Structure 1
Amino acid sequence: MTTSDGATGRSVEPPATGSTREIILATAERLFAEHGVYNVSNRQISEAAGQGNNAAVHYHFGTKNDLITALVERHQDALARRRADYVARVGEHPGLRDWVSCFVLPVADHLAALGKPTWFARFNAQLVTDPTLHPILEQRFRADPAMATVLEGIHRCVEQLPPEVRAERAAITGHLMMHMVADRERALARGRPTTRETWRDTADGLIDAIVGLWQAPAS
């Protein structure tokens, strides 16, 4: 059954397979990525997902924040497994580039594995900058042992920097990575040319830039 995309008014075909929860999650992620988290209502998601009950999102997830949390969880388990695998392979004497690679490559690999199109990066980029939604993402990152290991490894490599500078650069690192992959995802969705040919190429450029960021002198 064709339904209307409540955020734009255009007709869309809802996902044809999967559980109702998964269909709602996939639809919500797409609408949030394309139109913005605050520009899409639960009712619009239910309609675009082909649900006869306009309260389907509330029934399956609860509040909008509960839905956003479920979307974060939808990807973070896969990211955590990839990150743990990279951490296990860093060797006995990892350097700064090794640890930064463990930060960037799981995201690039995950986006490549999702196929085309993707909405994950544009959705997550909104959470990174929103003071209300960021704690949802931050809490999940802090629960990942591999992420903690990566951050500790990076900090050990730059112990000469004052703690407040390291905290600042950690924040810049997260913003830089999420917004750069979101920019590439957006360009791919619109059929525009990208600076890097593949997600792995994109990761290489990001790793170079982030390593340079951490090695820069503190004024």
Structure 2
Amino acid sequence: MVGASVRTERAVETREAIMSAAERLFAQHGLAAVSSRQISEAAGQGNNAAVGYHFGSKAGLIEAMTSRGAGPVEQIRERLLAEIDGSDDIRDWVGCLVRPVTEYLDSLGTPSWHARFAAQVMTDPVLRAAVSEAAIDRPPLRRTLHELGRRLPGLPRLVRHERGEMARLLIVHTCAERERALAEGTGALQPSWRHTAMSLTDAITGLLLAPVTPRPHTPTKESQP
């Protein structure tokens, strides 16, 4: 039993080392440019097949990495949901989208790689779809989106969906750019992650409440003479 416990502990440590090495390499070079062998070497694994052994594939590794970051983010979101329960202020619900991400990134210290890794995932259409689907299944995020949608009754469904995509891109890429600036010492636009969260909340609230310009009717091929 003691031997099995030690092996389990070592396996957990190895998985963590592989995910940490992969996060850094993916953030620096992109998903496609980094091989499983490079990840294994960077994680200090003598076995070049360590990624396949522990995660099945590079895609399995990326899925595990996104799940690892999602846990702490959703815990923060649960706390914020309890704090704003019953609020009708749209900013509160937008904050529940933004602040869990910035608070988690703040907790990682400098340098960190998670935001830039997340941005890389968002540029891959297959991974982006899988990650987005998994995120919607998480109750805290699902409730946040539901409550925010209830407070935007005048926004047409398709416009709401489009602006939701815009908001997600704003959060992901703004956070990635701040993380890069901090890591490289090139000067972040905001003095703290807290200020970044406030700026994002302002921008996304404005985006959601912006007027909708009526679209001119575009005849379909069937309706054209």
TM-score, normalised to structure 2, is 0.87
Asked if the contact 1:76/1:140 (under 8 Å) is kept, the reply is no
The residue that corresponds to 1:146 in the other structure is 140
Q: Which residue of 2 aligns with 1:174?
A: 168
The higher relative CO (CA closer than 8 Å, separation ≥ 6) is in 2
Cα deviation for residue 217 of structure 1 reads: 0.4
Matched to 1:47, the amino acid is E
The runs of 5 or more residues in structure 2 that have no matched partner are 1-11, 214-225
Once superposed, what is the RMSD of the aligned Cα atoms?
1.1
SS in 2 for 1:93: coil
| CA distance in 2 between partners of 1:75 and 1:89 (Å) | 22
Say if 2:85 is the partner of 1:91: yes
The one-letter code sitting in structure 1 at the alignment partner of 2:117 is F
Identity %: 46
Q: Which amino acid aligns with 2:184?
A: R
Tell me the CA shift for residue 135 of structure 1. Answer: 2.1
- CA distance in 2 between counterparts of 1:93 and 1:28 reads 40
Match of 2:40 among 46, 64, 84: 46
* Runs of 4+ residues deviating >4 angstroms: none
Is 1:116 matched with 2:110? yes
CA distance in 2 between partners of 1:109 and 1:44 (Å): 31
Equivalent residues in 2 for 1:200-215 (5 A)?
200-215=194-209
Q: Is the 8 A contact 1:42 1:64 kept in 2?
A: yes
Query: 1:101 and 2:95 equivalent?
Result: yes
Q: Is the 8 A contact 2:88 2:151 kept in 1?
A: no
User: Which amino acid counterpart does residue 158 of structure 1 have in structure 2?
Assistant: L
Distance 2:82 2:186 in 1: 37
The alpha carbon displacement at 1:52 in A equals 0.6
The answer for the alignment partner of 1:5 in structure 2 is: none
CA contact (8 A) 1:79 1:107 kept: yes
Q: How does 1:1-219 map to 2 (within 5 A)?
A: 19-219=13-213
Shift of 1:88: 1.0
User: Greater CA radius of gyration, 1 or 2?
Assistant: 2
Specify the SS of the correspondent of 1:19.
Answer: helix
CA–CA distance in structure 2, aligned partners of residues 198 and 105 of structure 1? 12
> What CA distance in whole angstroms lies between the structure 2 residues aligned with 1:128 and 1:155?
23
The two structures have a TM-score, normalised by structure 1, of 0.90
- Residue type of the partner of 1:35? H
- Letter of the aligned partner of 1:129 in structure 2? T
Bigger shift: 138-147 or 166-175?
Answer: 138-147
Q: Distance in 1 between matches of 2:109 and 2:87?
A: 34
Question: Partners of 1:141 and 1:190 in 2: how far apart?
Answer: 30
Q: Distance in 1 between matches of 2:103 and 2:17?
A: 23
Give the AA of the match of 1:82. I
